[in-house]
Amino acid sequence: MARTAKLTFEDRSIDLPVVEGTEGELGLDIGKLRSSTGLITLDPGYGNTGSCTSEITFIDGEKGILRYRGIPIEQLAKHSTFVEVAWLLIFGKLPNRAELDDFRERLVRNASLHEAFKHHFEGFLVDAPPMAILSAMVNTIACFPRHGEQDESPEERFIEDAAQLISKVRTIAAHSYRRSMGLPFIYPDPKLPYVANFLHMMFSMPYDTHHASPEVVDALNLILLLHADHEQNCSASTVRTVGSSLANINASCAAAIAALWGPLHGGANMAVLEMLEAIHKGGVSAADAIKMAKEGTDGFRLMGFGHRVYKNFDPRARILKAAADKVLGQLGVKDPLLDVARQLEEMALEDPYFVERKLYPNVDFYSGIIMRAIGIPTNMFTVLFAIGRMPGWIAQWKEQRDDPKSRIARPRQIYIGANENDYVPIDQRP
């Protein structure tokens, strides 16, 4: 029998249907709440609000579990690649060999930007933030229709749009870095796989091709794969909200990039590095940083710590912590910031403030140290997060678009402003 929960308000009451997910998660369907009781729900930051049902990613924040399409993140981290995971997230199952080859082929075909993009890049100042460039350029992609796009079936159009976004976001990212350094753009090499091609576009010189080592390629694959989706976070919710107005997939993903930019979301990976550097240079000690975070001095928080959903170790942070040790060892890099990070983590995990609030390291705490070791400049960290998250945004956009129950996102509010009052002509105002 279908379960319900009874809600009574004054003389009105309503039986609210209880929706159960495949992992036993329960939610109240409040669709009829307002028409039956006159009430709406109030939940700033949506901490207790399910905005959709989804088949893409499962998180159990209490147990520290993360699965893409049911597959534990630890298994994917060990056995898979970013491109395979992208397919898994978007199409709901692991690809067979033909599907994966076809998708890789599409990524190669879609890697280049229209030459007119050069002028767009030139329009930015060299020190423009790469996330601003990325968001603008991802939106711009849709202004350059593919040859024959109008004849594509909806299925073909979607897969080409997806391949185009995943492939071009990497080219745009590399070009934005080259622009910031005043270096010539390096075009994608069709012979190179996804991650190696990115590193080639970032670091090759016209007469000196950059050859990334397998260790570096593996480390970057891991970082991208671990960032590929994370259910209804700020940027995924943005993709769904923008997409719900029937905006195109590029506009929706461009908006998600803007959402990711903030330091409480993807921008935290840069902020972590800056914090670790400040501690290392002696500006503040680790103990000072912990104290400032506890006291909230000038809004200071321990960056890379805490999560809305995880009240346990973020499983991605666990994987990255081990990977940081491995990658730095393989590359022979000695980074004092890794020691600072370890020290900070140890102190926080023993401090009652962090223990009581269940604040653990999140994905951003160790990812920056690995990116730094493989030569990614700090101002590109959040851009790397965006490249990794693109398949997740695409999957979320598609799921929302295909859901027959989806409606335009349009929350309500409780108005707390002035009551009705009259317009006062300017010369009669105090």
Give residues in contact with ligand CMC (CB under 6 A). 45, 230, 233, 264-266, 268, 293, 301-308, 357, 359, 362-364
201/186 Cα distance (integer angstroms): 5
Residue 168 CB, nearest approach to ligand CMC (Å): 23
- Segment holding 78, helix H or strand E: helix 73-79
Nearest C-alpha neighbor of 252 from the set 116, 109, 395, 422: 395
Tell me whether residue 188 or residue 267 sits nearer to ligand CMC (CB atom).
Answer: 267
Tell me whether residue 188 or residue 361 sits nearer to ligand CMC (CB atom).
Answer: 361
Residue 247 phi/psi, 5-degree rounding, is -65, 150
Residue 193 CB, nearest approach to ligand CMC (Å): 27
Residue 309 CB, nearest approach to ligand CMC (Å): 8
Tell me whether residue 161 or residue 364 sits nearer to ligand CMC (CB atom).
Answer: 364
Cβ atoms of residues 236 and 256 within 8 Å: yes
Cβ atoms of residues 68 and 395 within 8 Å: no
76/215 Cα distance (integer angstroms): 17
Residue that is written with structure tokens 């959040």 in the block: 382
Catalytic site positions: 307, 364
Q: Which residue is nearest to ligand CMC (CB)?
A: 306
Count other C-beta atoms under 10 Å from residue 406's C-beta: 14
Sheet containing strand 65-68, edge to edge, reads: 57-60, 65-68, 71-72
Strand-pair partners of 20: 26
- Segment holding 18, helix H or strand E: strand 12-20
Residue 232 CB, nearest approach to ligand CMC (Å): 11
Tell me whether residue 198 or residue 310 sits nearer to ligand CMC (CB atom).
Answer: 310
Helix, strand, coil percentages in the chain from 3-state DSSP, rounded to 5: 55, 5, 40
Tell me whether residue 159 or residue 369 sits nearer to ligand CMC (CB atom).
Answer: 369
| CA diameter of the chain | 80
Residue 266 CB, nearest approach to ligand CMC (Å): 5
